Structure 1
Amino acid sequence: MYQVLLADDEQSIMDSMLNHIPWAQYNMEVAYTATSGKQAYDILVNTPPDIAILDIRMPGYSGLELCRMVSKQALKTQVIIISGYAEFSYAQKAIQYGVLGYCLKPVEYDEVTGLLLKAIRNLQQSTPSLISSDDFLAAVDGNDTDKISRYLEENGILQDSYYFVSSVSDAPLQLPGTLSFRVGINHYGYLSCSPYDRNLLEEASRSPGVLGIGVYPLAVTARDFQMAFYKYTSMAYHFFMDPECRICDTYHDFHSVPLMLQIQKAMSFAEKERLCELLTQLKEGDSYKQLSIHSAQLLYNLIMSNPQLVVNPQDYMLYNYRQLVHEYASFTELLDSLLQLINAAPETHEESEGLSNVYFLRIMKYVNTYYHENITLRDVAKMVNLNPNYISQLFKKSAGTTFSHYLTNLRITNAKKLLTTTDISINEISLKTGFNDYFYFLKTFKKYTGHTPSEYRNLSYERD
């Protein structure tokens, strides 16, 4: 964390800043306080902090004298001056010494926060470039083997090959000798230079809060990270396909079950009756347990994307595994829903225009309040006790766009705000704005803005 020095001879000013600025949110801690210029001088000389917020007038040394010392000794410390005096000469001298800003009392916390973010950017630019876990995940997504290797080297685990495990759990698993990282909400990945102890994984799978573990069966080189990553992270969700399976070490693609080829043909020709027969066969057998959750998502979205099979399909699409397990308790429940939707006739509603407006206002309030949570069209329909198809039609009529597009745009808008006004990690922003999966967030953000989240944040810094 970035260390901060607060120096002011008025204790009430220091207490106010300590209590009203969310230091931890910006990865900062107030490591030092001083009520005199002499105390501040000793701290700056002996243990230079990353950031110093200094009063312009203090006994011993003034804030300007301390700024001059920081400048003369070329300390890395970023300095912010606060003062009860709106004198141009003070501000002019402070600028000459390279301070970030000159804030008048009473302190405006938004103004100080903006300067703190500027200080972080300056410190990051002066620090040797290290690859963050966010950058690592982005490198995996882009198959950037050079950046993947650099990240592994920086973490002291550069080898010829690696072993992957993932978990769907309330907290990361305790796996000694592994590099762990969060992929999404309650979804973690682990990387090791040696094979995992099966007994240790069996024990971990029985821990409270652990739903499933995926073990990639082969050693993986940096060149194959992307392909292996998508497979082993999906394998942790195999409990959705087979509730009895706590550890999955096999990945099956869409065509592993022969019946899936027939289903795909029936979908392509919009043969509703034939498709329902095949889905029923799939449900009543147990061959579907050989499929991955990725195949389940693919099947669902292929059907939902066909307007000849489903009314208003665009609002029902599911974009990540977390959405899938939120919406349905199991794959068989998903099949029941598909059968119901395919067989459903379009519904008409005779509500008055006024009543429709009342419903729409309730829907908008709900979406704008809970957009950061894992809400779907079905959740909204339950809230107003209406059919999801009707909600979809009402939203398109009243908002001029689909429910899905509006929700995604709202999430992207708030993600952009967090990227430009905070310094929290991109992975954390993806979770705070309702994107349950980091890779889905990367793809969606670039689709909507033309930039990756990192690029967008850097561009905003350059504009500042």
Structure 2
Amino acid sequence: MYKVFLVDDEELVIKSLMASVDWNGNGFELVGYALSGAEAYDTIEQLKPDVVFTDIRMPGMSGLELIKELQKFPLQPMVCVISGYAEFALAQKAINYGAFGYCLKPFDETEIAMFLKKASTVLETRNIPDEGRILDYIEDAGEEAVEYLNRSLKNAGIEPHAAAGIKVIVSVGKSRLHPKGCSGTITLRIGFGMYAYLVQIKAEEQLSFDMPPIIMEGVRGIGVSKIIHQAEAIKSALEEAEIKAYRFFTLGSKYSFAQREMELTEKQYGMKAMEEAITNNDNYALYATLQAMEDQFLEGELHIRHAVIVYNQVMMYLGRNEGEIYEDYIFTFSQLERIFKDVTDMLKFLKKILSEKMRTNTFVQRPHGHNRTFNAIFDYVNEHFREDISIPFLSRQFNLNGNYISQLFKKENGTTLTQYLSNLRIEYACGLLVNTDYSINEISEKAGYTDYFYFSRLFKRMKGLAPSAYRSRHI
């Protein structure tokens, strides 16, 4: 609901205007009034209304002078001038100064409602953030980026340096949240079924999510960052909130939304034990470590980022064969969550293939002469590269050992599956950037990436330009 402020030196006029219009019914909330231009200026600076109705003739600071002064604000309210028929020339002058419109006394509710409808349309357009640019600048955090982020925050009614500061919320799931108790909110889609919310909590209120149960069923996880006071800190706060949002994966049935404000604790003795076991090529120590890690995850001592590291390190270790390294790495939290239902399932998978290796006490040897098998896998990858393809998925799809698939692909194609998929997807994304008007976020998803930031970093590494810069250069 947009905010309205009234200014007139006659209180009777204020009360008449308050009573003659169904403000709430038109999508607006009356947040205050002032009986002079000087008083109005100070109060408007504090309340930051979206629309101001002001008289023209007032003692001291006139309505025209007030309009000029309001133009100094970073986010200027839309001004509607209150005038009589005798002041029509002044009303026209006010419009030249930047007023959006005028309404004549005595007030006509239909006329004011029409103005509010027009104002609402303009405000809606003005308040839509450039999502792609904001996401790129969160990643960049250079001087230009910080300036743009601060301006975008102010446009949304968020003051980073205010005592209340900013919190970053991340939700995982198909439904968007509607944070309550906030003075301003910017909503960003950061991946398929992933949203980030930059919010400023009102000092007197608590953060809540006023949503029907059926909507909340579409939200798998919620994470809330600590309070920050600088635009430069948004990136780290977003990473913190994302880790917390994936507690549903690491805590399993113990997770509830009530735990979303829990602090992150990192007791990484399990991670060190895993590294030592891998370094010493000790399968039995590694198996015992993976068993012990399950409790660490369920107690919140390890989180989703550790889960990604564990998966990659163990799979790399298990994929060694005559000097070759397993390279089907997991890069994003969402990739891991789509392969396994939770961290217990992931650890069970790793322990199973580790136990097979312990029984044979050797790595799986690469079979030879199975080109038809490779051709079937290769054709499938080329046809489905925009989908969620991984070595574990192909292993189940073709009923083959994952290490065998990885080694066969490298032998027959001269590159790893991960590298080949990346090349296919990024080239496909290049075509969409040049030949369509899809947003970069949409292109990221269509190319097979559910995490916008990972797509952006990978694109820049492979092409030397950010996706937005690539589009600008080639159009």
Q: Which has the higher contact order (CA 8 A, sep 6+)?
A: 1
The one-letter code matched in structure 1 to 2:236 is M
1:199 deviates by 4.8
Which one-letter code corresponds to 1:132 in the other structure? Answer: D
Is the Cα contact below 8 Å between 2:160 and 2:228 reproduced in 1?
Answer: no
In the alignment, the residues of structure 2 paired with residue 350 and residue 225 of structure 1 have an alpha-carbon distance, to the nearest angstrom, of 50
Query: What letter matches 1:438 in structure 2?
Result: Y
Larger Cα Rg: Structure 1 or Structure 2?
A: 2
CA distance in 2, matches of 1:337, 1:234: 22
In the alignment, what sits opposite 1:271? 282
Does 2:305 align with 1:316?
Answer: no
Map of 1:385 onto structure 2:
399
Corresponding residue for 2:15?
A: none
Matches of 2:299 and 2:427 in 1, distance apart?
A: 39
Which segment drifts farther, 276-285 or 323-332? 276-285
Identity %: 29
Match of 1:240 among 245, 249, 253: 249
- Any idea what SS the aligned residue of 1:363 has? helix
Contact persistence 1:169–1:212 (CA under 8 A): yes
The answer to whether the Cα contact below 8 Å between 1:304 and 1:313 also exists between their aligned partners in 2 is no
Matched-pair contact (CA < 8 Å) for 1:420–1:460:
yes
Aligned-residue offset at 1:131: 6.6
Contact kept? 2:228, 2:234, Cα under 8 Å = no
Query: Where does 1:124-135 land on structure 2 (aligned, <5 Å)?
Result: 132-135=130-133
Matched-pair contact (CA < 8 Å) for 1:426–1:454: yes
1:146 maps onto 2:147 in alignment: yes
Provide closer, same or farther for how the CA distance between residues 334 and 306 of structure 1 changes in structure 2, counting only shifts above 3 A: same
**CA separation in 2, counterparts of 1:431 and 1:142?**
21
Q: Distance in 2 between matches of 1:442 and 1:391?
A: 28
Question: Which residue among 286, 296, 307 is the counterpart of 2:307?
Answer: 296
Q: Could you say which residue in structure 2 is the equivalent of 1:21?
A: none
Q: Secondary structure at the match of 2:264?
A: coil
Query: Structure 1 residues 203, 266: CA separation in 2 closer, same or farther (over 3 Å shift)?
Result: farther
In 2 relative to 1, CA 257–350 (structure 1 residues): closer, same or farther, beyond 3 Å?
closer
Quote the offset at 1:256 in angstroms: 2.2
Q: Does 1:214 align with 2:223?
A: yes
Kindly state the Cα deviation for residue 324 of structure 1 after the two structures are TM-superposed.
0.5
Q: From the superposition, tell whether residues 453 and 285 of structure 1 become closer, same or farther in structure 2 (CA, over 3 Å).
A: closer
Distance 1:415 1:347, change over 3 A: same
Is the alpha carbon distance of 1:322 and 1:201 closer, same or farther for their aligned partners in structure 2, counting shifts above 3 Å?
A: farther
1:247-297 CA distances to partner (integer Å, 9 max, x unpaired)?
2223536x4243333333333444332222122122256655332211211
Q: 1:313 to 1:186 in 2, by over 3 A?
A: farther
SS in structure 2 of the partner of residue 290 of structure 1: coil
Name the structure 2 match of 1:361.
375
Deviation at 1:303, TM superposition (A): 3.2
> Deviation string for 1:148-202 (max 9, x for gaps)?
2132234443442212211111121123552211111111111111167455369
- 1:413 CA drift (Å): 0.7
Structure 1 stretch displaced more, 386-395 or 311-320: 311-320
Deviation at 1:309, TM superposition (A): 6.4
Q: CA-atom RMSD, angstroms? A: 2.8
1:162 aligns with 2:154: no
1:229 aligns with 2:231: no
Which ranges of structure 1 fall in alignment gaps of 5 or more residues?
1-127
How high is the TM-score relative to the length of structure 1? Answer: 0.65
Q: Distance in 2 between matches of 1:437 and 1:316?
A: 17
* Per-residue deviation, 1:307: 6.9
Instruction: Report deviation, 1:342.
Output: 3.6
Q: Closer, same or farther in 2 for the Cα pair 1:284/1:418, shift >3 Å? A: same
Task: Classify the secondary structure of the residue corresponding to 2:171.
Answer: strand
Q: Is the 8 A contact 2:169 2:197 kept in 1?
A: yes
Go from structure 1 to structure 2 and tell me whether the alpha carbon gap of 1:223 and 1:211 turns closer, same or farther (over 3 Å shift).
same
Shift of 1:348: 3.4
Aligned pairs (5 A) from 1:72-221: 132-144=130-142, 145-160=146-161, 161-176=165-180, 177-194=184-201, 197-200=206-209, 207-221=216-230
Alignment pair present for 1:443 and 2:464: no
CA-CA distance at 1:203 after TM superposition: 6.7
Deviation at 1:444, TM superposition (A): 0.6
Which residue of structure 2 aligns with residue 90 of structure 1?
A: none
Change (3 A) 1:261 1:287: farther
Q: Letter of the aligned partner of 2:473 in structure 1?
A: L
For 1:152, give the aligned amino acid. L
Question: What are the Cα deviations for residues 393-451 of structure 1, in whole angstroms up to 9, with x where unaligned?
Answer: 22112211111110111001101111111121111111110111011001111111111
Q: In the TM superposition, what whole-angstrom CA distance separates every residue of 1:352-376 from its partner, at most 9, and x where no partner exists?
A: x3xx222222212211222111221
CA distance in 2, matches of 1:377, 1:303: 14
> What residue in structure 1 maps to residue 70 of structure 2?
none
Count of aligned pairs between the two proteins: 329
Which whole-Å CA distance do the structure 1 matches of 2:213 and 2:230 have between them?
Answer: 26
For 1:198 and 1:131, the matched residues in 2 are separated by: 22
Which one of the candidate residues 345, 350, 371 is aligned to 1:333?
Answer: 345
Contact map agreement 2:250 2:298 (CA 8 A) in 1? no
Structure 2-normalised TM-score?
Answer: 0.63
**Equivalent pair of 2:264/2:300 in contact (CA under 8 Å):** no
Cα pair distance change 1:197/1:365, threshold 3 Å: farther
Q: Is the 8 A contact 1:374 1:436 kept in 2?
A: no
Unaligned stretches of 5+ residues in structure 2 = 1-125
Quick check: 140-149 or 195-204, which moved more?
195-204
